[in-house]
Chain A
Amino acid sequence: MTERVIGTSVPKRDGADKVTGRTRFLHDLELPRLAHGKILRARHPHARLLRIDTRRAAALPGVLAVITGADVEQQPFGFARDQLALKVDKVRCVRDEIAAVAAESAAIAEEALALIEVEYAELPAVFDPVAAARPGAPLVHEERGSNLTDLRYQFSHGDVDGAFAEAAAVVEGEYRLNFVTPACLGTMVAIAEWDLEDRLTMWSTTQVPFLYQRDLAQALGIGGDRVRVHQPPVGGNFGRGLDLYPIDVIAALLARRARRPVKIEFERLEEFVACPTREPCTIRLRTAAAADGRLLGRDCHVVIDNGAYVSWGSTTPYVMLSTVAGLYRCPAVRFDTTIAYTNNPYSGSMRGYGNLESTFAVESQMDELAAKLGLDRLELRRRNATKPGDAHPQGFAIGSCAMGECLDALGDTTRGLPPPARGWRRGVGYAGMFHVGGGARIYKSDGCGAIVKCDDFGRVSLITGATEIGQGSETVLAMIVAETLGVPLARVEVVNSDTAVKPWDVGVHASRTTFIAGNAARLAAEKLRARLVAMAAGELEATVEELAVGDGWIFVKAEPQRRIAYERAARTGHLREGGQTLVAEAFYDPPTAMLDKDLRGNVSAAYGFAAQAVVLDVEEATGVIRVRRVVSAHDVGRALNPGAAEGQIHGGIHMGLGYALSEHLVVRDGQILTASFMDYAVLKAEDMPELVVRLVESIDAEGPFGAKGLGESGVIPVSAAVANAVHDAIGVRFTELPITSARVHAALRAGPRD
């Protein structure tokens, strides 16, 4: 069968609704008798709760329910089961939820919050993970006896000490990465409704609907069978929806108490305070290399500020390690972590998931090694580039790999650019990227289910476990089904937003949807095609081998006019005695393993690679950085929808440039100081450089039509390439992000540091 849809830049299917304002986002949903919920948060980052008086709030006209931790049934939840949705006895960060109100309107709920009296006894607090780990530090969770979390990621491979002993060059440094936040345009929302049989329906921002179903049920102390989750369109997510959060539990508790559906919608300020962030961390790294540039070893220690409770941000060393061990060939690796509770807000997962952070450290040192050894920076990277069949120290099986081709594809990165203006100095920086591209087995299953059916009118529905969050999965999955079944794309419907309908899936994370959900969709469509062809064989009096599909028809290859339309085959299937409906189902779980206790195992069925070049100019007098061009070359396996793939990479570069240059959620003494879009600097159109994307196709053997995941690969290398470009321009190495003009200006006045 010839391919007609795969590999073309077809428009995204939700486009018409989005450009006309018709898309009904979670924020736009109304339900009959909908009440509005608001949450009261802690004033202090660490304090005992002596008294909470809600009587005046409850008496306010229009208030339907007021709840506190003292008067609801709730169970601990979260990665380490270390928090309650409504806190009791004490608060551990300013995000902490103390009470909640449901009212006839959001304004009344807000007014009621102000009437709740809370008496605190402030406690000594700790905001630095290193200080928190010392004996005698104020304890965030007293019952634990220590601020160290139970998370520690230790890995050792090869003779690390020997590597450093024999090295021709050793570089070392400490890299500080600060809080940043997803800053989605659409804030977090939860809508909860209980029916008369005590079953709960949620409308949520989650990106892991089935894990959410399980975790929410546990937090409420009910069976998972009583929770149904809807996923309406969201205004971005970028990892934000990977966990269950207090907003979800509190919405359910309020709805139960008020006996009304309740909606909690964060305002922008609350989103900055309560949305999980990217984890702040300090990475100490040493790298050893031979005189010819071959990497000999890396030794890395990461300190993570866990904040008050454990969420996914503190599990990112999984991914940090994979880059420390596997971005370029590195035969000896040692890795360790310190992850401590503090009274800061806690971090969740955010696009790139630890990999921006470790890539920043690793790639800064690649440039430093090149300088020490007198090698060209790209040549050093080429000499160490991963190749197909390489053994990764953690046991990752590297199959398709076009790392070398990506480095080559950067080409002449300044071609056609006018030279820098007077008073500006130009720099070019490079960075590579290594990330999972075929799922990531962080749970027992990394699978996704798919159901494909054909109705009496030839319309094909894909019911997939996958989750659309704006990245375009509906479109690419529909393309895979259309291609496999030989039907026009417009005939394929995608159903993917209701846990009562769709089959199980882990969720949208780890750049996995195209690969995992794509393979599931392909398998289900292949099964359906086989059944259709078998059915048509009887009607057409031909053998299955003699038939082909295309354009919505099943036809005899030798005589294309002998054919039967899908809709007729479907009707023929069930409008008879002993009939059957045209439905097929498949579950794809990739051939991978969870990491074992030594952090070894092939976690992904494919791996993604990329190389980036950043060209920027620095104004000597002011320290202002103007990024002129980013060239980004990506091994995507196969570009199923090149336009959509480029869009993902463009967006990643934008987020990466923000991380590198401007975004900083300033948290001081546990308080968030940049809680608006006036203070938290997301880059604007005028800040963006020219973006050049090169899609390199390595055709992965396991991926659907050869594709690998790419949702995160654009964002990962940017900050490292920016830091390297700044160094190239002015000779100053920045080891902390963001590299603001104020910092550059101060460094320029101080003179070159190295």
Chain B
Amino acid sequence: MTARQITLDTTVNGRALSLSVEPEALLLDVLRERLGLTGSKRSCDVQVCGACTVLLDGLPVSACSVLAYEARGRRVLTIEGLARDERLHPVQEAFLATAGFQCGFCTPGMIMAVKALLDDSPSATPEDVREHLRGNICRCTGYASILAAVAVAQRALADGAAG
């Protein structure tokens, strides 16, 4: 650890970590380069495209524009931590079912953004969903299959909660 580095204690995908990082290191770089969690993508660099979306204490953030240090003492969830015991999360299942992806580059961020929304408001209306996804750009699908995936996920989560 050089003099410039600082200690970052954080939890990533349920695992407590203590890392030494440069003070100006971005969360995205630490995830991708230090931890090998390459599911979060770099694309726009200015928190408008959503390809790097991860959850910080359950809330969606653009990891390309958040300092790694801001994750101190907080829980980071990335796409790699979403499936539990090899079982896909209902949002992931829904994206599979409706083919809510083509090239797949926006998909991890899109899924994390949808998870955040449905955790917060399970019965979001289609208008809510479209507005919420303002921060996530997809260049391939025209969003139709993504919006369909959200609806499928909402039903699955409701059934799961009821069952």
Contact = CB atoms under 8 A, between A and B. Distances in A.
Interface of A: 9, 11-12, 14-25, 27-28, 182-187, 233-238, 267-269, 469-472, 643-644, 647, 650-655, 676-678, 682, 684-686, 688, 691
Contact of A20 (B41, B44, B79): B79
Contacts of B83: 20
Contacts of A469: 103
B10 interface: no
Nearest to A656: B142
A185 B130 contact: no
Given A11-B99, A21-B39, A686 B130 contact: yes
Given A470-B103, A651-B142, A688-B142, A678 B46 contact: yes
Nearest to B22: A107
Nearest to B150: A685
A687 B144 CA distance: 11
B48 A654 contact: no
Interface in B60-105: 78-80, 82-83, 88, 92, 95-97, 99, 101-105
Contact of A268 (B37, B45, B79, B139): B45
Contact of A235 (B41, B79, B144): B41
Contact of A691 (B107, B129, B142): B142
Contacts of A234: 103
Contact of A676 (B46, B82, B131, B146): B46
Contacts of B111: 19
Given A21-B40, A267-B45, A651-B142, A685 B147 contact: yes
B103 A685 contact: no
Given A678-B46, A682-B137, A27 B107 contact: no
A615 to B, nearest CB: 16
A652 to B, nearest CB: 8
Given A185-B105, A235-B104, A678-B46, 7 more contacts: A11-B99, A20-B88, A185-B49, A186-B43, A186-B103, A235-B106, A650-B143
B40 A11 contact: no
A260 B160 CA distance: 52
B140 interface: yes
Contacts of A677: 43-44, 46, 48-49, 137
B145 interface: yes
Given A15-B101, A27-B42, A655-B139, A21 B96 contact: no
B99 A644 contact: yes
A469 B103 CA distance: 6
**Which of A185, A235, A237, A644 counts the most B-chain CB atoms under 10 A from its CB?**
A185
B95 to A, nearest CB: 5
B43 A185 contact: yes
A185 B138 contact: yes
Shortest beta-carbon contacts, A-B, top 7: A21-B39, A470-B103, A235-B105, A18-B104, A650-B142, A21-B79, A654-B142
Contact of B78 (A21, A653, A654, A686): A21
B38 A21 contact: yes
A20 B102 contact: no
B15 interface: no
A542 to B, nearest CB: 42
Contact of A685 (B38, B99, B133): B133
A678 B41 contact: no
A416 to B, nearest CB: 15
B134 interface: yes
B142 A236 contact: no
B101 A233 contact: no
Given A677-B46, A686-B134, A643 B143 contact: no
A130 B39 CA distance: 47
